[in-house]
Structure 1
Amino acid sequence: MSVPSIDIKPNTTGLPGIGALENIVGAVLTFGLIAAVAGVAISSIAWAVGANSSNPHVAGKGKNGVLVAGAAAMLIGAANTLVTFFNNAGSSLR
């Protein structure tokens, strides 16, 4: 007994509203980048205040915030590339 071969590929014409959905996702990416910039700014301020007031807890939280916001910006910026990479990797499996 053989297993039938199924070969379905993504398309951009299968459903109405794909263009609108792409615009919404682009807006969400923009909102995420703006939030990451705000996170870096706020965390940097907390880091500076904590360091200058001899408060290591606040300074540490500020450092963590800068790293997390930077990582979030990196992931948001690389979202298209990451999805494309994993889509291509998954479609090459047989």
Structure 2
Amino acid sequence: MVGPDFGAVSGAGDLRTIIGALLTYGLVIAVLMVVACAATWAIGSAQGSWQTASKAKTGLFVALGGAVLTGGSLVWVNWLLSIGASL
């Protein structure tokens, strides 16, 4: 059986480190945005500013989605790298 030589490609460990670091920064920023938007939503609601509360609520849901996608993408990339190593 003829197949590609995946052993000839090096740097999978370096790639895993770089991607992990970038995704960690993305996750930290997303969590900080969740905290900031939640605080803005609470303050806007307490002050009766429905426009601010509405935009902060939208920002909160976008930040939560970003945090979920960032965390999920780290797991997905690690899974793809392990599948690629076993081929």
Q: Could you state the TM-score of these two structures normalised by the residue count of structure 2?
A: 0.73
Distance in 1 (alpha carbons) for counterparts of 2:4 and 2:47: 60
Query: Percent same amino acid at aligned positions?
Result: 32
**Residue identity in the other structure for 1:44:** A
Structure 1: 5+ residue runs without aligned partners?
1-6, 89-94
Structure 2 partner of 1:81: 76
Aligned-partner Cα distance in 2 for 1:63–1:19: 39
TM-score (ref. length: structure 1): 0.68
Unaligned runs of 5+ in 2: none
Is 2:39 the counterpart of 1:66?
no
Which has the larger helix fraction?
2
Larger radius of gyration: 1
Report 1 or 2 for greater relative contact order, CA contacts < 8 Å, sequence distance ≥ 6. 2
1:56 aligns with 50
Q: Aligned ranges for residues 2-81 of structure 1 at < 5 Å?
A: 11=6, 13-79=7-73, 80-81=75-76
RMSD of aligned residue pairs (Cα, Å): 2.6
Give the Cα separation in 1 of the matches to 2:12 and 2:79. 17
- Residues 42-61 of structure 1 show CA distances to partners (whole Å, capped at 9, x for unaligned) of 00111011101111111011
